[in-house]
Amino acid sequence: MIKKRPETVAASALGREDEATGALIPPLYPSTTYIRDPDNLYRRGRVYSRAQNATFDTAAETLTALEGGAETALFGSGMAAANAVFLALAPGDHVVAPRVMYWALRAWLEGFASRWGLLVDFADAGDIDALKAAIVPGRTKLVWLETPANPLWTVYDIAATAEIAHAAGARLAVDSTVATPVLTRPLSLGADIVMHSATKYLNGHSDAVIGTVTTARQDDFWATIKTVQSQNGGVPGTLEAWLLQRGMRTLFPRVRWQSASAQTLAERFSAHPGVAEVLYPGLPGFKGHELAQRQMQGGFGGMLSIRVHGGERAAIATAAHVSIWKRATSLGGVESLIEHRASIEGPRSPVPADLLRLSVGLEAVDDLYDDLSEALAQAREI
């Protein structure tokens, strides 16, 4: 038997066939409940689909293989997935998260998680000494990273952070939504947990809200995460889980195309007169570029941000003039999106007011460049 390469695993969704029918594509099982054996046992292992849903298996096991983990649990959203990791801790536990991270999760940590009793510190996780100083040996139970991190694409060092966290008796969890297993495999770099908003690249078509958590080991912490999944009930719908296995089949070509286009756009917009700065890990001048070269394979992802000359007004006016790019939040779909990020994150956001976040899709890269370049020129004329 050939040991399948990741591209093959993804394209074939583990290469299984439906034994009952010979169907090449896995079925969608809407059933909420399962038959009990006459002798009162559940030998086939499924009871009720909040806890065990047959449609989840293909997506979950494909992702486990791609991440090189032990098991994956699916959740009703990326937020539900991330929450489950934190709720598997206990009130009074200390956690360290980066200052630059997905804003809704940062808000949840500052709000709900802190009220629930977690002691949360936000550190400049790009500075290993600052990170070390924020970790309290024996009390810090979890370090959270997101890399590259929304929306400045800050690159954090997974291997170095894992070492520091483990030395202090803490676990490391990584939100790998933007990198995807195509570019980075956090578990192979020492992380204990990898989380995805599968709403984004993994599904890839902007038509399902779903989240995942993959563990390196089936230990007690993992058992608690699974208990949170089934008892809090934040599981996805069956259709979403089915769409996820379908979406992941094209994950590799999508992410590689999107990374190549983002690299081209980052380079070309760096020389554009309407652009003050391009934030992209693939640019040699970008802080964290060398680290990204070590940590990411085959590209730097499909996300970049530009800071435009003329401040907030020019940024919003630029977004108003695009036609191929779509003005919308979210990321990782086949269509390119542009967003004035400060408008959605609100006044407490650390995001500069002149920043436009770009999610690069599968359109012709020259069309994307021309469309945004014209919009920048039009915004300057206002």
Ligand X SMILES: *Cc1c(COP(=O)(O)O)cnc(C)c1O
Decide if residue 215 touches ligand X (CB under 6 A): no
Name the residue nearer to ligand X (CB basis): 338 or 375: 338
Decide if residue 177 touches ligand X (CB under 6 A): yes
In the bound state, the residue with its beta carbon closest to ligand X is 78
Stretch of residues binding ligand X (CB under 6 A), selected from 131-139, 193-201, 216-224, 346-354: 193-201
Residue 175 is among the residues annotated as catalytic for this protein:
yes
Residue 201 is among the residues annotated as catalytic for this protein:
no
Phi/psi zone of residue 43: left (φ > 0), alpha (ψ -120 to 50 degrees), beta? Answer: alpha
Q: Supply the DSSP string of 65-85, one letter for each residue.
A: HHHT-SEEEEESSHHHHHHHH
Among 16, 46, 50, 132, the active-site one is 50
Chain CA centroid to CA 252, Å = 15
Residue 51's identity, in one-letter code, is A
Among 126, 181, 211, 236, binds ligand X (CB under 6 A): 211
Residue 16's identity, in one-letter code, is R
Q: What part of residues 107-146 is at the interface with ligand X (CB under 6 A)? A: 146
Residue 252's identity, in one-letter code, is F
DSSP 3-state assignment of 335? Answer: coil
User: How near is the Cβ of 377 to ligand X at its closest, in Å?
Assistant: 30
Residues 68-87: x/- map of binding to ligand X (CB under 6 A)?
A: ---------xxx--------
Residue 132 is among the residues annotated as catalytic for this protein:
no
Among 202, 209, 279, 315, binds ligand X (CB under 6 A): 209
Residues 307-336: x/- map of binding to ligand X (CB under 6 A)?
A: ------------------------x-----
Lookup: tokens for 337: 């999106």
Residue 102 is among the residues annotated as catalytic for this protein:
yes
Phi/psi zone of residue 288: left (φ > 0), alpha (ψ -120 to 50 degrees), beta? Answer: left
CA angle (130 as vertex; 86, 182 as ends), nearest 5? 60
Radius of gyration for the alpha carbons in the chain, expressed in angstroms and rounded = 21
Lookup: tokens for 185: 């495999």
Catalytic positions are 50, 102, 175, 200
The site for ligand X (CB under 6 A) is made up of 77-79, 102, 105, 146, 150, 175, 177-178, 197, 199-200, 209, 211, 331
